[in-house]
Structure 1
């Protein structure tokens, strides 16, 4: 039986897109393993999603990861499944597109106002169409070659600027490859997400579903399934007391988790200093991510703080840290917000990227799971209100987070993706003759 392939198209303009692809890859692997062990052929048919499995801890998926196992007796229970993550701008983008993509990090960090202005000015269907027509030729041919090399049975995009060009590439190749778009913005989804020609759309909230419908796209093709977060957030965890003991934390004082994203940005140092100066009766867990310089600075300054604190770099046990905490302070990244909700954790937002993340702030505040506190005084006041003894506000936010949380979202989305694989024994889109070739042959015969 031929090997099936699913390709995830991403761009590392921020860590969220790769994280979404890794979350879905891991969920697909776990679903395939369950299918193989159950002897059901390893394929989930279209229709109503099955219940998500009880996930098992495992490492993150990686580029070229394979799923599928052999059944007892040596019989192959399912075709091998190859998962490929393609950094499309780096692998397929020509000058100046590749350089433009690399500007995201510096622009959002050092010139957020300018970045927000560009976001809002471009957030119009007509302007987006003009930009797409201008940029697509810079990567169209390279993308076509890459897809021809990988021969995917399903393509999944988790980045808004890759959808138009992917539809064009598949049209030129003449291959009927199902193309799914997974939107990773909670409310303020840019118009570039929505492109005619995709097979299906997955959106995280009702607000993004309404944006999809406003574009006049097929309502039968949109699925409201939540935000893809890593399957480990759906795993059961130890009690808060056990987790705190395991992490070396004190059992009683409230735990404030400070997170700045994978690169450790987001005003961590300012937030920690403000909490220390206010002498709040809390203990801190500060996660600096890959920002080694910030980690070393905070370790040196920690002895001067008026609160107990643990400084950590890049971590892989974020679910445990969140379940051990009473509140999280973080920038308004959609992935971290949904991870916190999956752990029933109240949220204080320390900042946001203008334009792109503004809707995430609205989502948090509108649903009563947290507040925005950009200034140190606002942060201290928000923590005091939330963590005072017998706080009804804390319980209300915990209940709201529990209501909103969708820890199984990656499994639901993975079920949908798998449903578009060719049935066992049927040829894939690259084993059939291209539609354009069939048309050309028909014309020759008609002469």
Structure 2
């Protein structure tokens, strides 16, 4: 754990990089880890200390239970989540909520700052950003604060805090919403959504297919449902199986061991491989021909880089509505919200000698942004060498939270 001590490597100050996130869905952590790995590759792991902090976990109840509550509510009552999501994005609710989170957890948020000293701070979670900015602004000086937006299109107000020093956005629509929310254009940039550096150096398709035992010439229909295996993956797979198609299924259940066991116990009409949590997603996407998935932004972005058209079998209301529109309007996939519709779409894409599938693959590649993770990493490294930023003057009550940089810290 980094503190505000004198962390050095050789004669140089080791750069302290802090990611603020929460495990409410897998996309926030995966974005932080992707950027972290890009930083290590580009600038050397020995030159930095990187920490990922789950801010909600550090808060009082009920926020500290959000990592468990989120997958439960999304699976059990997605409609209720959608209502809550839209309600929280209304201006009066947003203004009240961000203050309530800060004042209700002020000491705990300041403990994060005290216990995790940083030369640059990066938020990859929307709701976390405003209350953490309140905390940092109460200091006499603070490190640069960067937001990396990890929602693809449907970006809530919480992402757009004008106190943040720079905001990286995944799409033009997200950028335009930032302008409407009052962010300065020179402090925003559209780069795409950062995914793991492995996706910027995809391996040769034939080699990967041979390694997976997929070298039988059959088109591969890949199915995923997020890290927690959410949604109707089982029923969708069985619906595709009932079509008796000339293909191979590759089903990834994430950390849902019960779903994996249930799928493995079935008899299938075509070659079918079932995987749990995997770390070679770039390879598997490279070897596949189409992807059946929920409308998660990270998976969609990875698929585009791999040239995979997507069949969106589900979406989280409110939060992922824009992702569906983005995919469909650009001809990179379709929205098929029932298992039967997914199965019919797979059959249609495999028909007509694959002409429709090839066109959708080309459309997907046009939406790819494989350099996003490198652009963000380069900017973070530059900000890590910048001077601390004097915060606006606060009342004397905030003095007890004041944290100064060590006197031994060299001028930057």
Whether TM-score is above 0.5 comes out as yes
Aligned match of 1:299: 264
- State the Cα distance separating 1:230 from its structure 2 match: 0.5
2:316 aligned counterpart, secondary structure: coil
Hey, which bits of structure 1, 4+ residues long, moved more than 2 A? 99-102, 389-392, 432-438
Gaps spanning 5+ residues in structure 1: where? 34-66, 69-79, 441-447
Corresponding residue to 2:195 among 214, 225, 229? 229
Q: Deviations over 1:52-76 (max 9, x none)?
A: xxxxxxxxxxxxxxx23xxxxxxxx
Please state if 1:407 is matched with 2:373: no
In 2: Cα distance, 1:306 partner to 1:397 partner: 26
Aligned match of 1:74: none
In 1: Cα distance, 2:61 partner to 2:141 partner: 27
In 2: Cα distance, 1:101 partner to 1:300 partner: 30
In 1: Cα distance, 2:22 partner to 2:85 partner: 17
- State the Cα distance separating 1:150 from its structure 2 match: 2.1
Q: Deviations over 1:351-398 (max 9, x none)?
A: 011111111111110111000111122112211221114333212111
Please state if 1:109 is matched with 2:75: yes
In 2: Cα distance, 1:377 partner to 1:102 partner: 30
What TM-score does the superposition give when structure 2 sets the normalisation length?
A: 0.90
In 2: Cα distance, 1:142 partner to 1:174 partner: 18
The answer on whether the counterparts of 2:137 and 2:392 sit within 8 Å (CA) in structure 1 is no
The answer on whether the counterparts of 1:144 and 1:173 sit within 8 Å (CA) in structure 2 is no
In 2: Cα distance, 1:182 partner to 1:433 partner: 21
2:202 aligned counterpart, secondary structure: coil
Corresponding residue to 1:6 among 5, 17, 37? 17
Count of aligned pairs between the two proteins: 387
Further displaced range: 130-139 or 404-413: 130-139
Instruction: Identify if the C-alpha distance between structure 1 residues 363 and 433 changes in structure 2 by more than 3 Å, giving closer, same or farther.
Output: closer
Gaps spanning 5+ residues in structure 2: where? 1-11, 400-412
Corresponding residue to 2:63 among 97, 120, 124? 97
- State the Cα distance separating 1:435 from its structure 2 match: 7.1
Aligned match of 1:254: 219
The answer on whether the counterparts of 2:82 and 2:318 sit within 8 Å (CA) in structure 1 is yes
Corresponding residue to 1:27 among 13, 25, 38? 38
- State the Cα distance separating 1:281 from its structure 2 match: 1.2
Corresponding residue to 1:285 among 250, 258, 263? 250
Further displaced range: 242-251 or 81-90: 242-251
What TM-score does the superposition give when structure 1 sets the normalisation length?
A: 0.83
- State the Cα distance separating 1:94 from its structure 2 match: 1.4
The answer on whether the counterparts of 2:35 and 2:377 sit within 8 Å (CA) in structure 1 is yes
- State the Cα distance separating 1:290 from its structure 2 match: 0.8
Further displaced range: 198-207 or 161-170: 161-170
1:103 aligned counterpart, secondary structure: helix
Further displaced range: 168-177 or 100-109: 100-109
Corresponding residue to 2:343 among 380, 397, 421? 380
- State the Cα distance separating 1:418 from its structure 2 match: 1.1
- State the Cα distance separating 1:25 from its structure 2 match: 0.3
- State the Cα distance separating 1:137 from its structure 2 match: 1.4
In 1: Cα distance, 2:253 partner to 2:68 partner: 22
In 2: Cα distance, 1:214 partner to 1:110 partner: 34
RMSD, aligned CA: 2.1
- State the Cα distance separating 1:434 from its structure 2 match: 10
In 2: Cα distance, 1:235 partner to 1:180 partner: 26
Q: Pairwise mapping of residues 67-146 of structure 1 onto structure 2 (< 5 A)?
A: 67-68=45-46, 80-91=47-58, 93-100=59-66, 102-146=68-112
Instruction: Identify if the C-alpha distance between structure 1 residues 190 and 433 changes in structure 2 by more than 3 Å, giving closer, same or farther.
Output: closer
The answer on whether the counterparts of 1:97 and 1:138 sit within 8 Å (CA) in structure 2 is no
- State the Cα distance separating 1:2 from its structure 2 match: 2.4
Please state if 1:358 is matched with 2:321: yes
Aligned match of 2:27: 16
Please state if 1:270 is matched with 2:229: no
- State the Cα distance separating 1:100 from its structure 2 match: 4.5
2:353 aligned counterpart, secondary structure: coil
The answer on whether the counterparts of 1:349 and 1:372 sit within 8 Å (CA) in structure 2 is yes
- State the Cα distance separating 1:179 from its structure 2 match: 0.5
The answer on whether the counterparts of 1:16 and 1:335 sit within 8 Å (CA) in structure 2 is yes
1:314 aligned counterpart, secondary structure: coil
Instruction: Identify if the C-alpha distance between structure 1 residues 377 and 146 changes in structure 2 by more than 3 Å, giving closer, same or farther.
Output: closer
2:108 aligned counterpart, secondary structure: helix
In 1: Cα distance, 2:182 partner to 2:286 partner: 41
1:328 aligned counterpart, secondary structure: strand
In 2: Cα distance, 1:387 partner to 1:191 partner: 41
Further displaced range: 16-25 or 148-157: 148-157
Aligned match of 2:410: none
The answer on whether the counterparts of 2:149 and 2:159 sit within 8 Å (CA) in structure 1 is yes
2:13 aligned counterpart, secondary structure: coil
In 2: Cα distance, 1:100 partner to 1:130 partner: 19
